[in-house]
């Protein structure tokens, strides 16, 4: 599976299997919302090891700025990609399997010193945060993305304020 999203991809969203796609669509949804060009592909550290190495090795020359890599079970995709590039690699551990993702979380997060993988949460929260983290990296050189991220944080704050308003109203009714 390889699906071109828009323009030269600043972000690659890679996953070990198309069974990861329902979750990883959340990354693409966020990236598209911020108008960040991305591309997606299934790529496996154990099923297509040569292709994984070649893609990571050539990513900088292709204009890619950040790689997001999702994998489940004994998840080594993010680490293998990170071994072949100096681009930032964000790992998204997938839920599922006998240990429901704990194995993927530990495999992704516990990289030995020297080859970092920025690991986010399991599942859809991780997919969303991987995209936001990639956007934060791109925003270092992009004022439009910076202002969108500021607006995003203001929106989160507004929702907390709304929740507190509802709590205060409930408290008043309970008096």
Which residues of this chain interact with ligand RP5, rule CB under 6 A? 15-17, 19-20, 44, 71-73, 94
Query: Quick check: 28 and 68 in contact, CB under 8 A?
Result: no
Please choose, from the candidates 45, 48, 100, the residue with its C-alpha nearest in 3D space to the C-alpha of residue 73.
100
Q: Specify the residue, 56 or 71, whose C-beta has the smaller distance to ligand RP5.
A: 71
Q: Specify the residue, 22 or 165, whose C-beta has the smaller distance to ligand RP5.
A: 22
Least distance between ligand RP5 and beta carbon 123 (Å): 11
Least distance between ligand RP5 and beta carbon 151 (Å): 33
Least distance between ligand RP5 and beta carbon 52 (Å): 11
CA distance 31 to 20: 17
Please choose, from the candidates 13, 11, 4, the residue with its C-alpha nearest in 3D space to the C-alpha of residue 139.
11
Least distance between ligand RP5 and beta carbon 23 (Å): 9
Query: Quick check: 77 and 71 in contact, CB under 8 A?
Result: yes
Enumerate the β-bridge partners of residue 66. Answer: 11
Q: Specify the residue, 43 or 118, whose C-beta has the smaller distance to ligand RP5.
A: 43
CA angle, corner 135, sides to 130 and 138, nearest 5?
A: 130
Least distance between ligand RP5 and beta carbon 68 (Å): 13
Q: Specify the residue, 9 or 16, whose C-beta has the smaller distance to ligand RP5.
A: 16
CA distance 168 to 170: 5
Q: Specify the residue, 44 or 136, whose C-beta has the smaller distance to ligand RP5.
A: 44
Please choose, from the candidates 113, 141, 163, 118, the residue with its C-alpha nearest in 3D space to the C-alpha of residue 10.
141
Q: Which helix (H) or strand (E) holds 56?
A: helix 49-58
């Amino acid at each position: 599976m390889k699906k071109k999203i828009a323009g030269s991809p600043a972000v690659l969203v890679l996953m070990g299997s198309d069974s990861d796609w329902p979750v990883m669509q959340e990354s693409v949804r966020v990236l598209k919302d911020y108008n960040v060009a991305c591309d997606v592909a299934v790529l496996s550290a154990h099923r297509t090891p040569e292709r994984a190495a070649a893609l990571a090795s050539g990513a900088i020359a292709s204009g890619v700025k950040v790689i997001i890599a999702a994998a489940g079970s004994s998840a080594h995709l993010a680490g293998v990609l990170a071994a072949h590039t100096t681009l930032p690699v964000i790992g998204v551990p997938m839920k599922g399997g006998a240990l429901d993702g704990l194995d993927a979380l530990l495999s992704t997060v516990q990289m030995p010193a020297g080859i970092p993988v920025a690991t986010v949460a399991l599942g859809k929260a991780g997919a969303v945060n991987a995209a936001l983290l990639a956007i934060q990296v791109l925003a270092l050189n992009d004022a439009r993305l910076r202002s969108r991220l500021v607006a995003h944080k203001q929106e989160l704050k507004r929702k907390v304020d709304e929740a507190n308003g509802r709590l205060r109203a409930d408290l008043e009714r309970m008096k």
